[in-house]
Structure 1
Amino acid sequence: MLHQRSFRKAGANCTTGSIYQKSREYDVLDKKKTVTALRAGEDRAILLGLGMVILSVMMYFVLGITILRSYSDRVWTDETSCTVVNSTIACDVNCSYGCGTECRRSSRYPCLQVFVSLNSSGKVVRLLHNEETQDSNPECFYVPKCRKDYAATHVVVQNISERLKSQHTVQCFVDPTDRMDSAILTQIYGRVAVFHSLFWPTCTLIGGTIIIAMVKLTQYLSIMCERVDRIKR
């Protein structure tokens, strides 16, 4: 009887020990799966952060050789008040527009000439719409897109002329060195354009840096917690 009781106790202890061991093995496996999943998520977060940082650097590079360079090379920098002296359609200018693959047709657009008097100096200069007008046709205030319908283009240019006459006085930008005998109405590469062009790359750079920093901080805290647990054991 004594041997049978001892055998039963031993069997019960073995059964309890095996159940405890299996439970512990399951806990270890679950912990390993959790750690693996966390590491995979951390790796993806770091890759996302690095991708955002690299993208922002590329955007800075592109903007540096386009908008920022044009901003630094701009000529019409001083803003002043201008009085419209004359705003008339002087002549028609020939142009061409696309009508399909390797197809070009000729048309024309009205050339609006606007002269203004600089209130700061009294000098009369030609007024242009923006910096690109100087390169397209410096004789005309506005160079519209070449279209087949000349009448529609003429109406647009005529409306611009009437609006300038009604305003009489406008804000314009001039060359402080007097190298250019013209003024422009609006700046393409002004401070506002530079701000808007740099805003999103900066946000992307900051966001990517924060993601990487948060992941590294989480990893550091996890290592510290494991060290504390080992010391307590």
Structure 2
Amino acid sequence: MAKIRVSYEYTEAEDKSIRLGLFLIVSGIVSLFILGFCWLNPALQDLQGKAANCTVLSVQQIGEMFECTFTCGTDCKGTSLYPCLQIYVNNSESNSRALLHQDEHQLITNPKMDSRMAPW
């Protein structure tokens, strides 16, 4: 028995729909590459911190005490009070005076520290 081959030709509307679908897929992939290389890559590079040398300009004890809870083992726990310090540094990268923070999280959670900066 011989197999019957059926050839199917697309109508003009189906052909246009297939071309449109392929065009949308290709343009979406090209858009992802453009977004990734032209916008996202520089934005991610800006998020990376740059190393800079800082020179301590002044250290001030502002009179407040900071409560710190510590553990040094299973049976060793406690709370201590430490004085709050403001450390002003000169940033060699931007050549500007700044209040030193441990990290960006500390800067966000303690915004009142910036309002105490004395004029230079």
Q: Structure 1 length normalisation: TM-score?
A: 0.23
The one of the two structures with greater contact order (alpha-carbon pairs below 8 A, sep at least 6) is 1
Greater strand share, 1 or 2? 2
